Amino acid sequence: MGVWPTVCTPLPKAVAGGSIVPYALRHRRRKRVWHIALGSMLSLLLLGAGVGGVGAYKLSRAFDDQVATISTVFPPANLRPAPSVGVAAAAQNILVLGSDSRGAHNESIVNLTGQRSDVIMVVHIPANREGVWVMSILRDSWLEIPGHGQAKINAALSWGGVPLAVQTVESLIKTRIDHVAVVDFEGFQAITDAVGGVEIDNPVAFASSKIKGHTFTVGKQVVTGAEALAYARERYAFADGDFTRVRNQQRFFKAMLSTVMSSRTVTNPATLTRLIEDITPWIAVDDGLDFGYLTGLELQLHGLHGSDLTFFTLPTNGTGTSANGQSIVNIDFSALAPLQQAFQTDTLEAYNP
């Protein structure tokens, strides 16, 4: 079973829908977005899908009417892996992308070229719906981007929009992506404040480079929206940069889910509706990833527990420097074959990086 390089933290039951890393979806430019594990987006939406009657109708309207739809998502069929067959055909792979900035084309979510995807995750939901696997791909992973040569994987979105990002990831895992979500987690600043802050248990003290004069001490502490952003985005304070940042993102992600999905939130339709409405301006999806699809997943994944959701990272082989002087993360290509087979045959539960 896949795990983080150092830890694998189980998440609450309601996360079963998978998730979702950052991208500004407002029609005007937002400030720099923050980089956080993206699992909470779909999970919160799936949680909302469980609300019945009028509540479900309001949530459906809030989601389908307000979420931006990306018109062109997939590359041409001849550039994609063959569709899965047999039982594996019922599995679902959702690619989640986040971007550091809106880039040159910041007036519309439809055109996503000109910006880099600094969060890349593949949410795998197996055919038997007995677990969810979330694979993170470090943004500086060095590989062949179709038609562009060797580069960091986060350049794919900049050079060719969502279709090239999908093609690059599909080339890496040798399996088709079924749906795509682009998310700006700056919206979670508002959510963190809306629930009165989130308590984290921080293992290593560090001075924030995002909030001047602020230090995150060791131990439990309640963070507000602005502090949550700073905590999840920090990498300059750590010797291993993105690796510690990923672990902190996971830690905050779990704490935020625990707070958002507490009984005082999920049993209050008005509060839940407001949270869903707070999320929708920050998401763009393909036209098949609608409220009906999420509702279906929620029903299929209803019996899962936190231990049924696993995070892991694409196999890496340390960091290095490219021929043109870029700091990069080396993919462990020798370890990719078992991972690719696990995706192709829907057997990630047996995969051990």
pLDDT band at 56 (very low <50, low <70, confident <90, very high): low
Question: pLDDT tens digits, residue range 32-43?
Answer: 333 333 444 555
pLDDT beyond 90 at 348:
yes
Counting every residue, how long is the chain?
A: 353
Q: What is the residue-averaged pLDDT of the chain?
A: 77
User: Which tens digit of pLDDT belongs to each residue from 303-325?
Assistant: 666 567 788 889 999 899 999 99
- Picking from 218, 228, 238, 166, the residue whose alpha carbon sits closest to that of residue 35 is 228
Stretch 142-169: mean pLDDT: 95
- Please report which confidence band the pLDDT of residue 116 belongs to, taking 50, 70 and 90 as the band edges: confident
Distance CA 104, CA 114 (A): 6
- Going by pLDDT thresholds of 50, 70 and 90, the confidence category of residue 204 is very high
Tell me which DSSP letter residue 211 carries: S
Is residue 56 helix, strand or coil?
A: helix
In terms of DSSP bridges, do strands 316-321 and 327-331 run parallel, antiparallel, or are they unpaired?
A: antiparallel
Domains of the chain with bracketed CATH: 13-187+279-337 (3.30.420.590)
Task: Report pLDDT for 262.
Answer: 62
Higher-pLDDT residue of 338, 268: 338
Interval 165-186 mean pLDDT? 91
- Which residues fall within 8 angstroms of residue 139, CB to CB, at 6 or more apart? 116, 117, 118, 119, 120, 152, 153, 154, 242
pLDDT above 80 for 12: no
Rounded CA separation 46/41 (Å): 9
**291-300 vs 53-66: helix crossing angle, rounded to 10:** 130
> What pLDDT is stored for residue 20 in this prediction?
36
The pLDDT, as a whole number, for residue 99 is 62
Please indicate whether residue 21 or residue 202 has the higher confidence score (pLDDT). Answer: 202
**Confidence check: pLDDT of 192 > 60:** yes
